[in-house]
Amino acid sequence: MGIAIALAGNPNSGKTTLFNALTGARQHVGNYPGVTVEKKEGKYSDDIGEFNIVDLPGTYSLTAYSMEEVVARDYLVNEKPAMVVDIIDASNLERNLYLCVQFLEMGMPVTIALNMMDVANKRGIEIDHKKLSKLLNIPVVPTIARKGHGKKKLLQAIAAKSESNIEPLKISYGQDIDTALDEMEDMIKSSGFLTNRYNARWTAIKYLENDGQVKELGSKGDKNLDLQLETIVEKVTKHLAATLDTHPEGMIADQRYGFINSILKQGIIKRYHDENRLQISDKIDKVVTNRFLGPIIMIAIIMGLYKFTFSYSEMPVSWFESFFGWLSGAVDSALPEGLLKSLIVSGIIDGAGGVLGFVPLIMFMFFGVSLLEDSGYLARMSFMLDRIFRMFGLHGSSVMAFIISGGIAGGCAVPGVMATRTLKSPKERLATLLTVPFMNCGAKLPVFALLIAAFFSENEAQMMLVITLIAWFGALIVARILRSTVIKGEATPFVMELPPYRMPTLKGILIHTWERTWQYIKKAGTVILGVSIIIWAMMTFPGLDENQSKLFEDQRAVITSQAGYAILSDIETLESDQLSAQASAVKDNLSRVDLDEAKAGLKNSIAGRIGTSLEGLTKFAGFDWRTNIALVGGFAAKEVVVSTLGTAYSLGEVDPEEKGSLSERLKSAEGWGPLTAFSLIIFTIFYAPCFVTVICIAREAGSWKWAGFSVVFNTVLAFGLSVLCYQVGSVIM
């Protein structure tokens, strides 16, 4: 029988030379059926085994643009050779790997014959073929076909490679195309279009590449499917034209070369004399990803991004705040006292509205991130941080997810968790999505701001830096622990797409910014709205029973009757300013009773009871029942910690919604001090991700098991760390 192997590669890479070296006289020449393309077949046999070898026509790509390409491709899918030997001209690695990547995307078993090594060496090019083999996860054997060097090793490598189930290589073509591909893949799979020949994703890529053969088959087949696919292609084409000023074929080629670029950048080519041939992108990369300059530039760019975000969004955020303030005031005076008003004001406007208030900040940040992403810089950042992340069992592609989640300050774990989709290894992806919630997301910031203002006002910036560092170290160490226990597994080589830099267009960035912002608004209007209503209900019901309410009614009655008596009896003698002082004292007394009642009601509510019942445990970390309510509420959204503390601690005349005054109150409240505050900060960094993030983790990790894990593990970890801080701190202080 023999092992069937096909020699493929670019024209003039040495296929025929290698074919002759292997088969000698045992060959015969014919034609491929129906076309005038020459087909050479031959045999080789020795102690390694028996091989049936075919010399395929030379091609640069596998899209059906030329007859050679159609012939080569049809041969591979129809005859299914056991191995495709890709003959690569070592002196022109980048160009030659382009075809190789396409074989891998097709899901073919590939071995590389790294040919023309003599030419490459003469030109001063030295190639680390072992590393290349590791990064591509296929055998790579150096050869000099003209002298017959390496042919035995090549055949040994082929004979040793017996994997039959090969996962097709998945390259990320950027968000727009990736989304379209996912959609098209599902359609193609369910209708079974060409699935006996190609994997569905590959067929979808061919549609986007405008492949004549596949499109013709499509239009002759299921008309409905063809129309659906064409509609998606048209949509992506329009979107790419509008945002990045490119078309799908261009984008696909860019990303494939980007993938190759990122392989070659990892020290594959050791010496490269021909520096003049560097492209503009390579020249920029020489500076931007330089070992010393690179990190400095990266930090400067990140600082720039956050400075830009925070300074320019301050004003619009305050407009949003005053709008919601006005709205809640208007509703407050328009509606009668009662549950409905409480629901609308506290549940809906303060809950979902509080989250919508962040829209301008989010928008500015996404603008900056879109700029970095569209220009191609973001990919370089991951490339640089890969080495550090690798030590902790994560991956270069994890970096972006961390930054999006609030790695610097003020991100969100929801898009962060979704950003882990770019990770190809499921284990590294899982480790990443379980640790991104430790970052300082935008919702935790007001919590930190509140506590810092109250207890660390002398060292605000330093404290913020400490918090950021704790979050990062914590996340990386937890990742390391997870990767050596529950998600143990090999580190995958870091190969991502490093496409050439491109000049982003303002229109494109604006469209991308808006798309991201809209996602955020949708979340606030749906999930957050629902959750804040639930939380409101938990803090409202069951309320006080009749006897308890009566107690407060009685107190009020006493105050008003006493006051009424006093005022009536002295009305003749009192000056008008004394009168109003009297009246305001009465009002104060009445509102004190109201607040006492509210506090009693809160303590009696479902949330209050939970808070009180947890106190026995949480006192070891320094948290009382009111803090517990806030933390339970924070599970809905971390912003809720601040607003809940506000309600729970509204013990005076001061407006409970005002942050400054809340921090004043906390400062003087019993049981509070820097140690309690620090313990609470630690807890807030590490405990269960918010509700929406948990849902997102479940969806992205593919099971509720991991979502549950993140809730339990993070909370236990957070509690352990807080207790440690509080207890050690109590001894020292």
Interface residues with Mg ion (CB under 5 A)?
15-16
Contact range with ligand GDP by CB under 6 A, out of 138-146, 287-295, 446-454, 527-535? 138-146
Q: Which amino acid is at 367?
A: F
Task: Kindly tell me which residue out of 5, 13, 104, 233 binds ligand GDP, with binding defined by CB under 6 A.
Answer: 13
Q: Where do the DSSP E strands lie in 23-133?
A: 27-31, 38-46, 49-55, 83-89, 110-115, 126-127
304 binds ligand GDP (CB under 6 A): no
Task: Kindly tell me which residue out of 6, 101, 116, 252 binds ligand GDP, with binding defined by CB under 6 A.
Answer: 116
For residue 45, what are the β-bridge partners? 50
Q: Which of 378, 318, 436, 323 is nearest to 175 (CA)?
A: 378
**Using CA atoms, how far apart are residues 353 and 60, in angstroms rounded to an integer?**
56
**Using CA atoms, how far apart are residues 79 and 8, in angstroms rounded to an integer?**
14
41 binds ligand GDP (CB under 6 A): no
Task: Select 18 or 640, whichever has its Cβ closest to Mg ion.
Answer: 18
Q: Where do the DSSP E strands lie in 261-388?
A: 269-271
Task: Select 16 or 425, whichever has its Cβ closest to ligand GDP.
Answer: 16
Q: Which of 157, 168, 167, 164 is nearest to 51 (CA)?
A: 157
Q: Is the peptide bond before 542 cis (omega within 30 degrees of 0)?
A: yes
Listed in sequence order, the residues at least 6 apart from 566 whose beta carbon sits closer than 8 Å to its beta carbon are 582
161 binds ligand GDP (CB under 6 A): no
533 binds ligand GDP (CB under 6 A): no
Q: How far is the CB of 34 from ligand GDP (least distance, A)?
A: 22
Contact range with ligand GDP by CB under 6 A, out of 31-39, 140-148, 211-219, 350-358? 140-148
Please say whether the dihedral angle defined by the alpha carbons of residues 358, 362, 365 and 367, taken in this order, is positive or negative: negative
DSSP annotation of 459? G
Task: Kindly tell me which residue out of 2, 12, 38, 167 binds ligand GDP, with binding defined by CB under 6 A.
Answer: 12
Task: Select 57 or 248, whichever has its Cβ closest to Mg ion.
Answer: 57
**Using CA atoms, how far apart are residues 439 and 470, in angstroms rounded to an integer?**
9
Token pair listed for 182? 């996912």
Listed in sequence order, the residues at least 6 apart from 241 whose beta carbon sits closer than 8 Å to its beta carbon are 247
Q: How far is the CB of 274 from ligand GDP (least distance, A)?
A: 18
Q: How far is the CB of 237 from ligand GDP (least distance, A)?
A: 35
Of Mg ion, ligand GDP, none, which one does residue 118 interact with (CB within 5 to 8 Å by kind)?
Answer: ligand GDP
Q: How far is the CB of 115 from ligand GDP (least distance, A)?
A: 5
Token pair listed for 12? 């003039």
Which residue's structure tokens are 């989304």? 179
Q: Which of 212, 203, 214, 211 is nearest to 181 (CA)?
A: 203
Q: How far is the CB of 153 from ligand GDP (least distance, A)?
A: 14
111 binds ligand GDP (CB under 6 A): no
Contact string 69-108 vs ligand GDP (x = CB under 6 A): ----------------------------------------
119 binds ligand GDP (CB under 6 A): yes
Q: Are 6 and 52 in contact (CB under 8 A)?
A: no
Residue nearest to ligand GDP (CB): 14
14 binds ligand GDP (CB under 6 A): yes
Q: How far is the CB of 312 from ligand GDP (least distance, A)?
A: 57
For residue 127, what are the β-bridge partners? 269
Q: How far is the CB of 395 from Mg ion (least distance, A)?
A: 40
Task: Kindly tell me which residue out of 5, 9, 433, 499 binds ligand GDP, with binding defined by CB under 6 A.
Answer: 9
Task: Kindly tell me which residue out of 5, 8, 15, 683 binds ligand GDP, with binding defined by CB under 6 A.
Answer: 15
24 binds ligand GDP (CB under 6 A): no
Q: How far is the CB of 11 from Mg ion (least distance, A)?
A: 7
Q: How far is the CB of 10 from ligand GDP (least distance, A)?
A: 7
C-alpha distances (whole Å) from 395 to each of 16, 136, 686, 716 are 41, 16, 21, 26
**Using CA atoms, how far apart are residues 703 and 696, in angstroms rounded to an integer?**
10
**Using CA atoms, how far apart are residues 506 and 512, in angstroms rounded to an integer?**
10
Of Mg ion, ligand GDP, none, which one does residue 115 interact with (CB within 5 to 8 Å by kind)?
Answer: ligand GDP
For 68, other C-beta atoms within 10 Å of its C-beta total: 17
Task: Kindly tell me which residue out of 16, 137, 179, 555 binds ligand GDP, with binding defined by CB under 6 A.
Answer: 16
Site for ligand GDP in 320-359 (CB under 6 A): none
Task: Select 118 or 183, whichever has its Cβ closest to ligand GDP.
Answer: 118
